[in-house]
Amino acid sequence: MREIVIVIADLYLEPELAASPAAAMAASPVAAAAGIAAAAGGGAQEDAALGIGQLARFGEKKTLPAGWRAWVAQWLGLPQFAGAPPASIAAAALADVPADRVVWHATPLHLMAGLTSVHFDRRSVLRPPRAELEALAASFSATFHGSGFALHPLEGGELLLSGPAVPAPAATTEPARMLLTPVAEALPAGEGAPALRRLGAEIEMWLHHHPVNDERARRGAPPVAALWVWGGGASAAAAAGAQRRLTDQAFGADTYVRGLWRLAGGESLPMPVDWAALIGESRAQRALGVVEVAELLHAHVPWSLADAVAEIDRRLIVPSLAALRSGRLERLVLLANDRSLSLRAADRWRLWRHLRKARAGVECLI
């Protein structure tokens, strides 16, 4: 295999962490996250963060002004979609969205109400099972009949909202970036914002005591308090099935990647259990894997951000670096927090020569 790209899709750091001296010294919030993982746990956790630490010290760092999605579209050879709204690309994975509709992501959220504000944290983004998404879509159709809007379940625990164009453009915020912005400030803004805000408020009232939430409460799952509408634009579904032979593989449940691969004429696959085995057995020239911190935090309730980053490091980064050292891989790229870290096989001597220095460097990234 020539190249592996690993995306941590929702790793965005809080303002106080991004502004810390450690993050500034590391010149990459991704590297700072590795330092956090090392410092928080020590011992085995320090070893688990070694992969990201090595990438941060010896890899090439770049800023991604347009975010990881635009980078991936360019990497896949689809520059015409690099500037497209995320929901427009995600819609390509569906068969029932008319091409003339406007689409938005409608991400299920659990928001915690305080005395004066509503709180969002890394576990606020929910990924309900398919049966719940279908139940919400059917109920929405009955309740909002005649509104012109419809919900469509997506693979990976998300919903797509389709509807008529709003009177004017509205700026929206991706949920993962709400850690950097108070919820009230992250609401739709611009001339077209009132229509989306009004719909969002109606959806919140509809979800209150919804049967789906009653069932979630019975099994101890957090309720779906809102469907966060974001990333909207015209559907790109009509452009699916590009006429070329796709040899690149994609893994993970991310809806943008699923739609992008459909537009390229291929299909994305679930994340493999054994990433190291994939590297050794795959016949693809290049592979991309997308993971989420929130998914790990929901699966392991006691875990912190440091634990989740360390697990991603252990499962994905470390095996990929091992393949780079052995010459089975030519290039490794990590994308997170609007940064890229890349290392080529030609530079693998650095990993051997400075291994001891890299271990100490993980702590220095704090």
Most confident of the following: 10-14, 198-202, 262-266, 277-281: 198-202
Lowest-confidence region among 111-120, 265-274, 339-348: 111-120
Residue 335 sits in the same domain as residue 276: yes
Q: Check whether 303 has a pLDDT greater than 70.
A: yes
Given the structure tokens 């929910």, which residue do they identify?
A: 126
Q: Check whether 261 has a pLDDT greater than 50.
A: yes
At 227 the pLDDT is 97
Residue 214 sits in the same domain as residue 254: no
At 347 the pLDDT is 74
The candidate with the shortest Cα–Cα distance to 73, out of 83, 63, 64, 65, is 83
Choice between 282 and 306, residue whose per-residue pLDDT is larger: 306
Residue 103 sits in the same domain as residue 25: no
Residue 59 sits in the same domain as residue 141: no
Q: Check whether 150 has a pLDDT greater than 60.
A: yes
pLDDT tier, 358 (very low <50, low <70, confident <90, very high otherwise): very low
Start-to-end CA distance of the chain, whole Å, equals 33
Residue 266 sits in the same domain as residue 352: yes
Residue 105 sits in the same domain as residue 184: yes
At 188 the pLDDT is 93
Domain that holds residue 217: 86-234
Residue 43 sits in the same domain as residue 76: yes
Q: Rounded to whole angstroms, how far apart are CA atoms 23 and 43?
A: 22
Is there a contact between 53 and 47 (Cβ–Cβ < 8 Å)?
Answer: no
How far is CA 76 from each of CA 199, 261, 262, 275, rounded to the nearest angstrom?
Answer: 35, 9, 12, 21
At 95 the pLDDT is 77
Query: How many Cβ atoms sit within 10 Å of the Cβ of residue 83?
Result: 11
Say which residues have a Cβ less than 8 Å from residue 285's Cβ, sequence separation at least 6: 1, 2, 3, 247, 248
Torsions phi, psi for 152 (to 5 deg):
-130, 120
Q: Rounded to whole angstroms, how far apart are CA atoms 346 and 217?
A: 53
pLDDT tier, 348 (very low <50, low <70, confident <90, very high otherwise): low
Q: What beta strand segments (E) does the chain contain?
A: 3-8, 60-63, 102-109, 112-113, 118-119, 150-154, 158-163, 226-234, 249-251, 286-291, 331-336, 339-344
Query: Among residues 181, 215, 234, which one ends one of the domains?
Result: 234
At 24 the pLDDT is 34
Residue 126 sits in the same domain as residue 174: yes
Give the chain's mean pLDDT. Answer: 83
Over residues 59-104, the pLDDT tens digits come to 899 999 999 999 999 999 999 999 999 999 999 988 777 677 899 9
Count up the domains in the chain and report the number: 2
What average pLDDT score do residues 267-290 get? 88
Residue 46 sits in the same domain as residue 147: no
Choice between 49 and 206, residue whose per-residue pLDDT is larger: 206
The candidate with the shortest Cα–Cα distance to 336, out of 69, 124, 130, is 69
Residue 32 sits in the same domain as residue 119: no
Given the structure tokens 């999605």, which residue do they identify?
A: 69
Q: Check whether 12 has a pLDDT greater than 80.
A: yes
Query: Among residues 209, 234, 259, which one ends one of the domains?
Result: 234
Q: Check whether 360 has a pLDDT greater than 70.
A: no
Taking the whole predicted model, whether its pTM rises above 0.75 is answered as yes
Query: Among residues 190, 216, 234, which one ends one of the domains?
Result: 234
Residue 297 sits in the same domain as residue 186: no
Q: Rounded to whole angstroms, how far apart are CA atoms 256 and 98?
A: 18
Q: Check whether 354 has a pLDDT greater than 90.
A: no
Residue 75 sits in the same domain as residue 91: no
What average pLDDT score do residues 213-240 get? 87
At 297 the pLDDT is 95
Q: Rounded to whole angstroms, how far apart are CA atoms 110 and 11?
A: 18
